Amino acid sequence: MGKRILRRQDFGWKFQLLRIVSPFLFAAGFCTYWLESSKITLRRWPLDGQELPVPMTGPLRILHLTDPHLSGNAAVRRLENAISLGLAQQPDLALFTGDFEFDDREDLSAAVHAALLRLGTAVPTYACLGNHDYASGEHGKAVRKPQSRLADIRACLAKCQIQLLQNQRQEIVIRGQRLAIVGLGDWWWGDMKGKKCLKMAGSEDLPVLLMSHNPDTHVFLQPFAWNVMFSGHAHAGQFRLPFTQRYPFAPLRDRSLARPGLHALKGGRVLCESAGVGAYLGVRLNSPADVTVLDIGEGVSANAPEGPAPAAPPQ
Ligand SMILES: [Fe+2]
């Protein structure tokens, strides 16, 4: 005997209920997607400079921006909003950790140029490269040679008074403090050359603020001397499982590093991970974009207004 084919009438009230609630579920899902994708959270983290490998007395306020992925008008508006939000915190220094994803042309659009110039003229600003900055055209489809592309990016950033550090070190004095800013090339592109721009651990006199796009790289950088590493890349997974700190889609070896905030690492070092300004395909759920402000000072975490202590170092 053949199986009876199920018909609409067999579901009765369940089918009617589904028909009524499905438009509301769809609308709620769309609104969540739309609102989440345009929302930018300000995250402020305090850090006691005396606990770092090369102690810092501070005060020093660092604005950390990353991953704008400037591939459309919505992304440019998010960058403008992120820069306005960041500059309102009156930082001493800005660090931009890559994945600009500029259009495939020699110059910036007027809006992107204006936004980045506003940042670069307001505060000393340094940048490193992300994996999306080495190829042009569609993702992963390199229609121009990376070195030609990188020369354009360097020139574009220089016009905005932002200094690109590609495996380079820059020593500066801010608020009477001498420190070193180091920017690494991208690990996925085989362009991370720590020996070229970092001293070995124990042989450094200056506090080093390190920009490395991919947070997974901290394990390869342990032999070197640095205080705080600033990273992005993970976009906080663009989706966080509700009520957890799990980011199942983060493109990392160690997905725990996708959590935005401070992560305590071995040797007293700290990772400052940002969820970033933009997102791949513009999609975010339960994982908003962010702008990060790090306040380094003497005993600053003792009476900090917000932000937890760094999570425990990995074993
Ligand atoms: Fe990115």
Domain boundaries, the chain: 12-303
Which amino acid belongs to residue 137?
G
Q: Separation of 163 CA from ligand 1 center, angstroms?
A: 19
Cis-peptide into 91, omega within 30 deg: no
Distance of CA 225 from the midpoint of ligand 1 (Å): 26
pLDDT digits (tens, 9 = 90+) for 275-292: 999 988 878 899 999 999
Q: Which fold has domain 12-303?
A: Purple Acid Phosphatase; chain A, domain 2 (3.60.21)
What is the predicted pLDDT for the residue at 276? 97
| pLDDT over 60 at 104, yes or no | yes
pTM of the model: 0.85
Residue 117 has pLDDT above 60, yes or no: yes
Cβ 274 vs Cβ 64: under 8 Å = yes
Tell me which H or E stretch contains 162.
strand 162-164
Q: 76 C-alpha to center of ligand 1: Å?
A: 15
Residue 32's contacts (CB-CB under 8 Å, 6 or more residues apart) are: 285
- Asked if residue 272 has pLDDT above 70, the reply is yes
Give 97 Cα–ligand 1 centroid separation in angstroms. 9
The CA-CA-CA angle for residues 30, 32, 34, to 5°, reads 65
Cα of 1 from ligand 1 centre, angstroms: 58
Q: How confident is the model at residue 150 (pLDDT cuts 50, 70, 90)?
A: confident
pLDDT of residue 151: 85
Backbone angles phi, psi at 93, to 5 degrees: -160, 145
Q: How far is the CA of 42 from the centre of ligand 1 (A)?
A: 18
pLDDT for residue 138: 44
Rounded-to-integer distance, Cα 221 and Cα 233, Å? 17
| Cα 92 to averaged position of ligand 1 atoms, centre (Å) | 25
Q: b vs e for 255-272, b when ≥16 Cβ sit within 10 Å of the residue's Cβ?
A: bebbbbbbbbbeeebbbb
Say how many Å lie between the CA of residue 133 and the centre of ligand 1: 9
Query: Residue 4 region, left (φ>0) first, then alpha (ψ -120 to 50), else beta?
Result: beta
Q: What was the pLDDT predicted at 89?
A: 97
Distance 94 CA to ligand 1 centre (A): 18
How sure is the predictor about 94, in pLDDT bands with cuts at 50, 70 and 90?
Answer: very high
Spacing, Cα 233 to ligand 1 middle (Å):
4
What would the mean pLDDT of 299-305 be, rounded to a whole number? Answer: 53
End-to-end CA distance of the chain: 62
SS3 call for 281 = helix
Tens digit of each residue's pLDDT (9 = 90 or more) over 208-244: 999 999 999 999 999 999 999 999 999 999 999 999 9
Share the mean pLDDT of the chain.
86
What separation in Å is there between the alpha carbon of 202 and the centre of ligand 1? 32
- If one counts every other C-beta atom within 10 angstroms of the C-beta of residue 287, the result is 24
Distance CA 112, CA 165 (A): 20
